[in-house]
């Protein structure tokens, strides 16, 4: 895709600094402020003097990976963007952060219980990620959480060498699932099925009795504390999961009647993902700890208090109670959970439990960055007004909307901006109406558009010169309406589904050229044939804005954009819209000398693979192409060499990446 060429010079005064002559006075600190990287980056991301984004996996200045270099390095290995880059050392750091936060909170509060973080693998089930969480988690005493039978079978196979690790089984469970869990317990695994409904209880007890196992059992309670934010329905009266208090008591009585009350060892709740307000944690944990304590006093064998997930990520760096931020830090979260549980247990006179958290997002979100290339840009303000209006033919007049727009265009002045904006809209609408009933020619319709955009650009340029506080409300959107569209080599539906599904905000910024002032404001469009495949909401300082600042797109030069903090949920929720498949994935590490290296590459889907996912027999497709070629040769529409080139192009396409592979050589040369 190419840049849409201007037919005239831009109305913007010299808005295009040459790459060689950087904007005077613009520094990487200005870029850091513009993109707020030091706020949402939390020490993991910054900009180096070359103007490239760096990743500091251990938050140690100097021990850093230049993201632009990684992308270039991947290209040298034949791996083009889009690419998802995982930073294994950053993942390890996050797991340690979690452990350390709870260790500090436990020590500071004099809490006598223990702490165990479990990773819910649904948050990112990619084999390599789960393996790393398991590996780094072993010395930290961490376990894993599963929510389905397939997840359980994967985890069981992966943890055969560490049977003492806690495995928590949530989600709906049928006979087979529970029989398997019971056998795993017999094998010596530290595994706890969490009851989601009473049928599961009956199955657990009957399998345990049949197999002679004394099971550890958990129960998920549905708190009355209302949830908050996007996932507020994960708790409260209308929640999909969890037992009411009456049912929890029923579970206890059922077990007691069979002399199994000591088996009830874990109480669980999940108040929703991305809890942005610490007050919700405080009240939810308080309620949970009360229920826990009462169960202990009634004689249940309680040991674990599982507060579920919810620990947030500060996606916009504002550290507020905005839904894609959080008004607390990790140490504050740990301290709140530990202190609340301890004070309730002390009041109720019961021993302190082992606290379990199921914080998946907080473990894996930061370790992934998606990098893609811009393919071209559409700039509405490249269209400018002509120097004069065309002279109408003898006896004819120019249509009124055109002459009115022309007058408005010429008269744009700061004092009448709102009025002139409305005049422009009205004239444009009137012109469109006339065209639709056949009273405006195609040439005049095109002239109308041209004058309209030129007028808007002029008004926008005046608005930019004003103090923000003086900008009239009616013109708030003009910047967004006039923003460029950068066409980008990615599928939102495959790589960032939450942007489409729940309007999730991620930090998005170029990964290079950051010692150069970004002069364009743009939205991003992906390469799917779907108008929803776009990004038009971006993090702003305490707000959401409709564009992101980007550098002028230059034809023939690479421009790479990164989406940060996208390691949670995106990979497995992605879909095959337009048959764009999984992107390449690179696992990048930093060695002790400060050099980065690629530990593992997982190649993205080929076209052949995605076709087979939707039940095409690729051999049949190839055979049909070959036959068509032979007929074309027989009928002399193609030479044999051309037909072979066509077949080679088809086969190369099948083995190729599903994304745009720009710059490839032609298959056939005369």
Ligand X SMILES: Cc1ncc(COP(=O)(O)O)c(C=O)c1O
d(CA 270, CA 293): 18
Give the interface size with ligand X as a residue count (CB under 6 A): 13
3-class DSSP state of 418:
helix
Per CB under 6 A, does 276 bind ligand X? no
Task: Give whichever of 137 and 310 is closer to ligand X, judged by the CB atom.
Answer: 310
Min CB(54)–ligand X separation in Å:
27
Strand partners of residue 53:
47
Site string for ligand X, 149-178 (x = CB under 6 A): ---------------------x--------
The interface region with ligand X, picked from 306-314, 367-375, 520-528, 660-668 by CB under 6 A, is 306-314
Task: Give whichever of 383 and 568 is closer to ligand X, judged by the CB atom.
Answer: 568
Per CB under 6 A, does 92 bind ligand X? no
Min CB(196)–ligand X separation in Å:
10
Nearest to 116 by CA among 136, 133, 102: 102
Min CB(486)–ligand X separation in Å:
30
The interface region with ligand X, picked from 56-64, 338-346, 358-366, 642-650 by CB under 6 A, is 358-366
Strand partners of residue 586:
85, 601
3-class DSSP state of 520:
strand
Strands ordered across the beta sheet of 53-55: 45-47, 53-55, 65-66
The interface region with ligand X, picked from 257-265, 357-365, 386-394, 526-534 by CB under 6 A, is 357-365
**Residue from 41, 193, 218, 308 binding ligand X (CB under 6 A):** 308
Min CB(172)–ligand X separation in Å:
12
**Residue from 318, 325, 359, 643 binding ligand X (CB under 6 A):** 359
> In angstroms, what CA-CA distances link 66 with 70, 94, 190, 508?
6, 20, 41, 17
Residues 412-471 touching ligand X, rule: CB under 6 A, are none
> In angstroms, what CA-CA distances link 386 with 108, 383, 411, 422, 451?
72, 9, 15, 21, 8
Nearest to 510 by CA among 40, 87, 68, 27: 68
What six digits make up the tokens of 8? 């005239």
d(CA 281, CA 312): 11
Per CB under 6 A, does 583 bind ligand X? no
Site string for ligand X, 109-128 (x = CB under 6 A): -----------x--x-----
d(CA 333, CA 560): 36
**Residue from 215, 218, 242, 309 binding ligand X (CB under 6 A):** 309
Task: Give whichever of 261 and 274 is closer to ligand X, judged by the CB atom.
Answer: 274
Task: Give whichever of 310 and 497 is closer to ligand X, judged by the CB atom.
Answer: 310
Min CB(359)–ligand X separation in Å:
5
H/E run at residue 46: strand 45-47
Min CB(273)–ligand X separation in Å:
3
The interface region with ligand X, picked from 30-38, 355-363, 386-394, 460-468 by CB under 6 A, is 355-363
Answer for the pair 604, 657: CB distance below 8 angstroms, yes or no. yes
d(CA 165, CA 356): 13
Task: Give whichever of 98 and 447 is closer to ligand X, judged by the CB atom.
Answer: 98
Per CB under 6 A, does 94 bind ligand X? no
**Residue from 57, 242, 353, 360 binding ligand X (CB under 6 A):** 360
**Residue from 277, 314, 358, 484 binding ligand X (CB under 6 A):** 358
3-class DSSP state of 378:
strand
> In angstroms, what CA-CA distances link 409 with 427, 457, 480, 481, 557?
11, 10, 20, 17, 35
Min CB(275)–ligand X separation in Å:
7
Task: Give whichever of 168 and 607 is closer to ligand X, judged by the CB atom.
Answer: 168
Min CB(493)–ligand X separation in Å:
21
Min CB(169)–ligand X separation in Å:
11
Answer for the pair 311, 117: CB distance below 8 angstroms, yes or no. no
The set of residues, in sequence order, having a beta carbon less than 8 Å from that of 436 and lying 6+ positions away, is: none
Per CB under 6 A, does 533 bind ligand X? no
Task: Give whichever of 335 and 359 is closer to ligand X, judged by the CB atom.
Answer: 359
- Measured from the Cβ of residue 110, the count of other Cβ atoms closer than 10 Å reads 9
Min CB(231)–ligand X separation in Å:
7
Min CB(308)–ligand X separation in Å:
5
3-class DSSP state of 40:
helix
Backbone angles phi, psi at 122, to 5 degrees: -65, -20
Answer for the pair 659, 603: CB distance below 8 angstroms, yes or no. no
Min CB(9)–ligand X separation in Å:
50
Per CB under 6 A, does 82 bind ligand X? no
Per CB under 6 A, does 498 bind ligand X? no
Q: Examine residue 465 and say whether the peptide bond preceding it is cis (omega within 30 degrees of 0).
A: no
Task: Give whichever of 147 and 562 is closer to ligand X, judged by the CB atom.
Answer: 147
Q: Is 179 exposed, middle or buried (0-12, 13-18, 19+ CB in 10 A)?
A: middle
Residues in touch with ligand X (CB under 6 A)? 120, 123, 170, 270, 273, 308-311, 358-361
């Amino acid at each position: 895709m190419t840049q849409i060429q201007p037919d005239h010079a831009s109305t913007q005064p010299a808005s295009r600094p040459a790459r060689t002559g950087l904007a005077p006075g613009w520094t990487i600190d200005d870029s850091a402020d513009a993109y707020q990287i030091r706020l949402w980056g939390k020490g993991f991301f910054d900009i180096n003097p070359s103007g490239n984004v760096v990743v500091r996996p251990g938050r140690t200045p100097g021990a850093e990976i230049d993201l632009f270099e990684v992308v270039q390095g991947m290209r040298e290995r034949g791996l083009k963007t889009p690419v998802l880059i995982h930073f294994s050392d950053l993942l390890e750091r996050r797991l340690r952060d979690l452990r350390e936060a709870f260790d500090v909170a436990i020590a500071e509060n004099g809490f006598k219980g223990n702490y165990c973080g479990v990773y819910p693998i649904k948050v990112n089930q990619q084999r390599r990620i789960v393996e790393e969480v398991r590996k780094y988690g072993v010395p930290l005493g961490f376990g894993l959480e599963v929510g389905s039978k397939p997840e359980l079978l994967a985890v069981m196979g992966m943890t055969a060498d560490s049977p003492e690790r806690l495995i928590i089984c949530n989600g709906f469970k049928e006979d087979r699932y529970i029989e398997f869990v019971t056998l795993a317990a017999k094998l010596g695994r530290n595994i706890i099925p969490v009851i989601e409904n009473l049928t599961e209880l009956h199955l657990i007890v009957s399998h345990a009795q049949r197999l002679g196992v004394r099971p550890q059992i958990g129960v998920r309670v549905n708190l009355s504390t209302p949830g908050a934010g996007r996932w507020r329905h994960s708790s409260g009266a209308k929640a999909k999961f969890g037992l009411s208090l009456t049912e929890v008591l029923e579970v206890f009585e059922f077990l007691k009647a069979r002399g199994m009350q000591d088996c009830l060892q874990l109480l669980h709740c999940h108040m929703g993902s991305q809890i942005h307000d610490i007050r919700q944690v405080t009240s939810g944990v308080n309620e949970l700890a009360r229920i826990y304590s009462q169960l202990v006093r009634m004689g249940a064998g309680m040991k674990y208090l599982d507060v579920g997930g919810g620990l947030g990520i500060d996606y916009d760096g504002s550290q507020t109670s905005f839904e894609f931020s959080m008004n607390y830090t990790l140490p504050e979260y740990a301290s709140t959970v530990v202190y609340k549980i301890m004070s309730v247990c002390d009041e109720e006179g019961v021993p302190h439990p082992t606290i379990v958290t199921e914080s998946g997002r907080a473990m894996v979100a930061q370790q992934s960055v998606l990098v893609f290339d811009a393919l071209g840009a559409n700039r509405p303000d490249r269209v400018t007004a002509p120097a004069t209006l065309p002279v109408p033919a003898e006896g004819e007049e120019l249509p009124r909307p055109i002459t009115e727009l022309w007058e408005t265009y010429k008269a744009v002045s700061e004092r009448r901006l709102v009025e002139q904006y409305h005049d422009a809209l009205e004239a444009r609408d009137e012109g469109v109406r006339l065209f639709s009933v056949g009273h405006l020619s195609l040439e005049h319709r095109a002239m109308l558009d041209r004058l309209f955009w030129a007028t808007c650009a002029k008004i926008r340029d005046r608005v930019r010169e004003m103090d923000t506080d003086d900008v009239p409300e009616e013109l708030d959107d003009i910047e967004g309406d006039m923003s460029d569209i950068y066409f980008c080599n990615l599928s939102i539906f495959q790589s960032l589904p939450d942007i489409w599904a729940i309007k999730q905000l991620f930090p998005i910024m170029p990964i290079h050229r950051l010692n150069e002032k970004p002069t364009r404001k743009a939205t991003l469009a992906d390469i799917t044939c779907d108008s929803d495949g776009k990004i038009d909401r971006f993090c702003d300082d305490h707000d959401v804005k409709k564009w992101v600042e980007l550098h002028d797109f230059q034809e023939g030069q690479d421009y790479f954009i990164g989406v940060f903090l996208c390691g949670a949920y995106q990979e497995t929720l992605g879909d095959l819209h337009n048959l764009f498949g999984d992107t390449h994935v690179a696992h990048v590490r930093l060695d002790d000398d400060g050099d980065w290296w690629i530990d593992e590459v997982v190649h993205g889907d080929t076209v052949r693979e995605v076709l087979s996912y939707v039940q095409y027999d690729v051999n049949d497709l190839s055979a049909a192409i070959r036959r068509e070629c032979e007929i074309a040769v027989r009928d002399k529409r193609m030479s044999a060499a051309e037909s072979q080139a066509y077949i080679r192009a088809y086969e190369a396409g099948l083995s190729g990446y599903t994304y745009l592979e720009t710059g490839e050589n032609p298959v056939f040369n005369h």
